[in-house]
Amino acid sequence: MRVPEQPLTLDAALSDEAVLSTYRRMFAALARDSGAVVDDPVLVDIAETLFAAFADAGEEWLTHEQMRLACGAYPADQFDNRLRVLKGLGAIREVFPKPNQLRYRASFTSVVGLMFIRRMMDDGGQSEMHRLLALEDLNVADPRTTMEEARQSAAGLARAFRLWALELITLTTGTIEELREQAPKLWGTEEIARRAQSVHGTILTRWPELDRVCTDLRAAIYAYSDASRRAAGRLADSAGTTRNLTLLPTETWRTFAQTATKERLAAVLDGFVFDAPAPWHDPAAIARAVDEAPRPAPAQPTPPRSTLPDPGPDGSLGAAREAAVERLRELAESLLGGESRVALADVLGPDWATARRVLADLTTVDLRPELPYRLAWSDGLTIDPSREPSWLSHGHLERTP
């Protein structure tokens, strides 16, 4: 540890400690333990889940159990580790600092820090730069701003743009894969360069003495715009025709499709030549189409229906196997009517549709060994065109002992 050269006063120590504790809290969400930064994004997710739970809890704050419950999706050891670190760094603290405290509260600074970090991770700080520039623009226009503050602001911006440009230049000369991955996060839009120039313009108009610093800033902005364009150009050249469309984010495409006017959409295809519709209708194909014309369907007669009462299949479907057997037994008994043997010609019914059903049922009866009925066929055949069925094999339904 470095020993301060000046004697440490109590006030100085206190203010140092205040700054340090803010820093620690800001990066608490990223710390693996009190001394290092996390290496697993899940650990950040735990912190975020916890902060969300705290926000929902309001002034009730949270107990240890409630915190565990909120993070139920994560393994217990990860949760404990995270809570220890967050507590150690002051991102989560006891509501009242006294022993055996059960309720905890979350630090506002840590939540804001986490939001900031998430955004930085998403777009490499572009939106932060936008905000920063907007704020600087307001600041330098504020009558209370001093020249010294403006100088610092201009110098700070110049440094940021230089570093930004340097990083892009390094990427542009590196591998194409790295460039493809990183560049869209780094290169700025025209908008950023415009805003920076507006800040520059305001400073220079108000304080012509700051000419030197402003020249620096101007150079840095140009360097940055140039590096952006160079990186985009190299990517566009190397990527050929396939990859370029990946370089605009999906959201940009959606916004374009949803908001563009008809004229703007149509202008994309100006100067492209397409074929007029010119299908070929060959005489043979025309003749084939005429032959295949759908013919009006003739009216179809309704299929014949049985005269036996037919409640439909709803009762038999899904019923127990025994029910089916029982129905067959009842049918056989009703046909036999107490006799031990009846001629089929007498029981088949008046028309073919009924006869067909009865015959089908009797055949089933015959094929079931557990039922005591059999069909016995003989060689005789009656042919009578006037009755139904006209062709009738001779046979008997018999009760077996």
Catalog residues that contact other proteins under the rule CB under 8 A: 187-191, 228-229, 231-233, 235-236, 240-242, 244-250, 252-290, 292-296
Instruction: Burial-class residue 140 by CB neighbours within 10 Å (0-12, 13-18, 19+).
Output: buried
Residue number, 140 or 179, with CB nearest to other proteins: 179
Beta carbons of 192 and 225 less than 8 angstroms apart? no
- Return the structure tokens found at 302: 């309704």
Give CB contacts under 8 A, 24+ apart, made by 267-273: none
Residue number, 71 or 231, with CB nearest to other proteins: 231
Beta carbons of 209 and 148 less than 8 angstroms apart? no
Q: Least separation, in Å, of the C-beta of 249 and other proteins?
A: 6
Q: Least separation, in Å, of the C-beta of 177 and other proteins?
A: 14
> Cα separation of 252 and 101, whole Å?
50
Residue number, 284 or 383, with CB nearest to other proteins: 284
Q: Least separation, in Å, of the C-beta of 298 and other proteins?
A: 11
Phi, psi at 373, each rounded to 5°: -130, 145
Q: Least separation, in Å, of the C-beta of 178 and other proteins?
A: 17
Q: Least separation, in Å, of the C-beta of 173 and other proteins?
A: 17
Q: Least separation, in Å, of the C-beta of 119 and other proteins?
A: 20
Residue number, 113 or 188, with CB nearest to other proteins: 188
Residue number, 146 or 259, with CB nearest to other proteins: 259
Residue number, 286 or 343, with CB nearest to other proteins: 286
Q: Least separation, in Å, of the C-beta of 230 and other proteins?
A: 9
Beta carbons of 172 and 179 less than 8 angstroms apart? yes
Q: Residue 31 gets which letter from DSSP? A: B
CA-to-CA separations, 163 to 72, 132, 156, in angstroms, rounded? 42, 16, 11
Instruction: Burial-class residue 206 by CB neighbours within 10 Å (0-12, 13-18, 19+).
Output: middle
Residue number, 58 or 296, with CB nearest to other proteins: 296
Q: Look at residues 243, 118, 231, 129 and name the one whose alpha carbon lies nearest to residue 183.
A: 231
